[in-house]
Structure 1
Amino acid sequence: MASWLQKLIVQLALARSDDALLKASGGEARTVRGMTLDPRFQFLEFQARKRGVNWAEMTPAILRQQTDAGSAIFGGSAVGGVRVEKVYITGRSHSVPCRLYLPQIRDNSAAMLVYYHFGGGVIGSLETCHRFCSMIAKEAGAPVLSVDYRLAPEHRFPAGLDDATAAYLWAVDNAARYGAPVGKAAVGGDSMGGNFAAVIAQQQRGSAPRAHPPVLQLLIYPGLDFVSDTASMHDFADAWPLTSQTIEFFLRHYLPDDFDPAEPRLSPGRTEDLTKLPTALVYTAGFDMLLDQGEAYADRLEQAGVRVVRHRFESLPHGFVAFPAASPTAEQAIRRIARETAAALKGAA
C-alpha cells in the first residue's frame, strides 16, 4: 500500500500548474484525434512510460498490489452521509462478498444499483470505485451494492460474471429491505464492470425465461468487444493505464483455454439484437482503446430504440473513476456521472 509520504509527494507533483506539468511531461500537450489529454494525466502517463513494465515478469498479484497502491493515492476523500455495510451473497458454490452503501437520507423512489469494478477480470477491488459508489448512493438516496466478484486466473471466466449475476438477482429480491422499490434493481460498472452490466442487461431482458430485467444499465468506458480492431485500439494502444499489452495480459489470465472471445457472454457488443434493453447511460473516455466500441454500442442501442444518455470525457483516460484525486477534471466527471445516474435511478423506478 502507498505510504502517506508517497501520497504527499504525488499530490505535490500534481498540484503544479498545467504549464509546469506539460514541461515535466515532454513539453507539449498530448493531442490525438483533436482531443487533448488532461495535463495531470499526461504527467502520470509520462512517468509510467519512464518506468516501463516488464510484462515477462508481471503477475496478477503484483499488478493487484500496484492497483491497490494507486487506489490509496488517488481514491479521493470519504463521502459523508453514507453508511457502509458488508454483506455476503450466496452464489452457486460460495458466498460473494459485497459492500452495501446506505445513504442517511433516503429517496424511496430511487432504484437500487448493483455496481461492478474495473480490472479486466483479473485485478481491481471494491476500493477502486469506493468514492464513486458513495457519491451515487448519496446523490440518489438509494442503496448501492458494490460486488467483490472472483478474479482470474484463480477463477477464470465465467466465475466473475456468475458472481455479478448472483449479486444482481439478490438485489432484485432484497431491494425493498433497504428502502428501494420492490423487485427492481439497476446494473452498472466501469471497464470489465461495464461488460458485466451489459451482459446481465442482455441476459435478463424481458424475452428471457424467468427474466428480471434491470431498470437501468450504467456503462462507463465498457469493454464490449474482445476481438475489436477499431481505430481507437491502435490510436491509444500505448495510452496509460490501459495499453495493448495490458489487455493481452488480462485475456491470457481471464479466458479458459480455447474459449472464443467473440462469444456474446464475453463480447456483448457482438450481440445482434439489442431491442428491449433498459435505458443506458454510456460514458466513454477520450484517451482509451475502448472508446470506439463504447460509442458504437451506444449508437446501436439508439438504433434499436433504447433510450441512451451519453457523454465522452475527451480529456480523460480509461479508468478515471478510480482516480478522482488525480485531477479536478476526473472528480468533476464522476460527480456528473453520479448526478445523472441518480436522476435515472429515480426516474427508472
Structure 2
Amino acid sequence: MSIQKLIVRTLLKLPDGALIAMAGGKPLTIDGRTLDARVQFLAAQGARAPSITTLDPVAARAATAQGLKLLDGVRSPKVRVEEMEVPGPAGPLDARLYTPANASGPLPGLVFFHFGGCVIGDLDTCDTFCSMLSEIGECVVLSVAYRLAPEHKYPAAAEDALAAYRFARDNAQKLGMTRRIGVGGDSAGGYLAAVVAQETLRSDEEEPALQLLIYPVTDMEWQGGSWTSCENVYPLTREIMDWFIGHYLHDRSEAKELRASPLKANDLEGLCPAIVVTAGFDVLRDQGEAYADKLRVAGVRTTYRCYDRLAHAFTAMTGVVPAARRACEEIARDVRRILHA
C-alpha cells in the first residue's frame, strides 16, 4: 500500500466530527439532505485539487485512475476473472469477465459499462464493484471498455455498447451465461445501458433482461433542480459534466437525439425491467429520478433508490466509505432478485 493511500485510509477512520471539522466545520446540507461525513471530507480535498477540466483528456484519465486507487475496495476473492476482448464496430474492445468461483453451470449475465463521461475510465474504474455484482448478484459480469472521446466521439460509445451486448447475447454459452442477460453501468455507463435497452426494443431484437442504471446521464440538455443545487459538489461538478459533453458530442445539437438523451424518448412502453439508482449529492440526481418516473408511467417494472447521503461515483468508494459499500451490496442484491426471477 502506498504512503498516500495509507494516509487517506487512516484519516477516513477518524470520527465523523473530526472529519467534518477538517472539511469546513459543519455538515454539508443541500435540498434537505446531509452528506456522509467521509464523502464530505473527500469532497473538501477534491475541491482543493485542479479540476480535470484544466487537463487534456489523456492527462485527466491518468489523474483520475490514480485518485480512484486511493478510494476503491479490494476485488472479491470469490470470483474468477478473465481478461478478454469482444468484437466492436471499429475493432476489438478490451473486456473483463467475472464469474462466481463456485459456479457449477451457466448463470444469468450482466454486460457492464464503466463511468467517466465517455471521456475517462477503463476496466479498472469499476473492477471492485463488478466483482461485487458477480459474487452477490450470482451472475457472470462482462465489463467492456468502450471507445472514449474526444478520439472517438458520439455515437461511438453507444455503438460499442450495443455491439458488446449483442456479442454476449449471441455467445452466452461460451461466456458461461444463460439467456437472461442484463445491461448496466454507472453514470456514462448507465446512459449507455439505457441506450442499449431502447435501441434493442426499437429494432425488434431480443432485449436485455434488466437495465441497471446507476446515477445515469439521461438528458444532455437537462437544466434546473440538482443540476443547479449540486453544481459544485465533488466529484462531478456541473463544469466537469459540461466538459464531458463537450468532448463527447460533435455539436450540442446532438444532445436532442435519443442515443444521446434517452429521457427524450416519447414512449418507453415495453422496455425491460429497470433498477435506477441516484445519489443525493449529484448533479445527475433529478434526471435519473425523472427517467425512473417515466419508466413507471410507461408500465415498466422499475426499482428506484436514491442514496441521499452519498455523492456521484460512490461505486468507486467502497474501500473508504462504508455507506458506499453497503449501497453497492444492496444494488447487487437487487440485480440478483431480477436476474434470477
Q: What TM-score, normalized by structure 1, do the two folds share? A: 0.94
Query: Which residue does the alignment assign to 1:58?
Result: 55
Aligned amino acid, residue 122 of structure 1: V
Query: Which residue does the alignment assign to 1:94?
Result: 91
Query: Which residue does the alignment assign to 1:41?
Result: 39
- Alignment deviations for residues 221-257 of structure 1 (CA, whole Å, 9 cap, x no partner): 0000000013110000000000111012111211114
Measure how far apart 1:88 and its partner are.
Answer: 1.1
1:233 aligns with 2:227: yes
Structure 1 unaligned segments of length 5 or more: list them.
Answer: none
Aligned counterpart in structure 2 of residue 163 of structure 1, from 139, 160, 163: 160
1:67 aligns with 2:46: no
Query: Which residue does the alignment assign to 2:30?
Result: 32
Measure how far apart 1:109 and its partner are.
Answer: 7.1
Aligned counterpart in structure 2 of residue 212 of structure 1, from 203, 206, 211: 206
Measure how far apart 1:141 and its partner are.
Answer: 2.8
Contact 2:52 2:60 (8 Å CA) reproduced: no
Contact 1:60 1:123 (8 Å CA) reproduced: yes
With over 3 angstroms needed to count, the CA separation of the structure-2 counterparts of 1:284 and 1:233, relative to structure 1, is same
With over 3 angstroms needed to count, the CA separation of the structure-2 counterparts of 1:54 and 1:247, relative to structure 1, is closer
- Alignment deviations for residues 104-159 of structure 1 (CA, whole Å, 9 cap, x no partner): 22275742100000000000111121111111111233210000111111111111
Query: Which residue does the alignment assign to 2:15?
Result: 17
Aligned positions of 1:108-187 closer than 5 A:
110-182=107-179, 184-187=180-183
Aligned counterpart in structure 1 of residue 338 of structure 2, from 336, 339, 344: 344
Q: Which moved more, 1:12-21 or 1:87-96?
A: 87-96
Q: Which moved more, 1:106-115 or 1:19-28?
A: 106-115
SS in 2 for 1:293: helix
Aligned positions of 1:310-329 closer than 5 A:
310-329=304-323
Distance 1:296 1:258 in 2: 21
With over 3 angstroms needed to count, the CA separation of the structure-2 counterparts of 1:65 and 1:181, relative to structure 1, is same
Contact 1:156 1:254 (8 Å CA) reproduced: yes
With over 3 angstroms needed to count, the CA separation of the structure-2 counterparts of 1:35 and 1:144, relative to structure 1, is same
Distance 1:137 1:93 in 2: 28
Aligned amino acid, residue 208 of structure 2: P
Measure how far apart 1:78 and its partner are.
Answer: 2.2
Query: Which residue does the alignment assign to 1:297?
Result: 291
Aligned amino acid, residue 113 of structure 2: Y
Aligned counterpart in structure 1 of residue 245 of structure 2, from 248, 251, 256: 251
SS in 2 for 1:127: coil
- Alignment deviations for residues 317-348 of structure 1 (CA, whole Å, 9 cap, x no partner): 0111011112111111111111111221111x
Query: Which residue does the alignment assign to 1:333?
Result: 327
Distance 1:312 1:108 in 2: 34
Q: What TM-score, normalized by structure 2, do the two folds share? A: 0.96
Contact 2:146 2:160 (8 Å CA) reproduced: yes
1:82 aligns with 2:79: yes
Query: Which residue does the alignment assign to 1:195?
Result: 191
Q: Which moved more, 1:211-220 or 1:139-148?
A: 139-148
Q: Percent identity?
A: 42
Contact 1:109 1:346 (8 Å CA) reproduced: no
Contact 1:71 1:322 (8 Å CA) reproduced: yes
Q: How many residues align?
A: 341
Moved over 6 A (4+): none
1:287 aligns with 2:284: no
Distance 1:54 1:114 in 2: 28
Query: Which residue does the alignment assign to 2:5?
Result: 7
Distance 1:8 1:37 in 2: 24
SS in 2 for 1:285: strand
Distance 1:286 1:54 in 2: 22
Distance 1:172 1:78 in 2: 26
- Alignment deviations for residues 63-117 of structure 1 (CA, whole Å, 9 cap, x no partner): 1112111221112112012111112111223111100111122275742100000
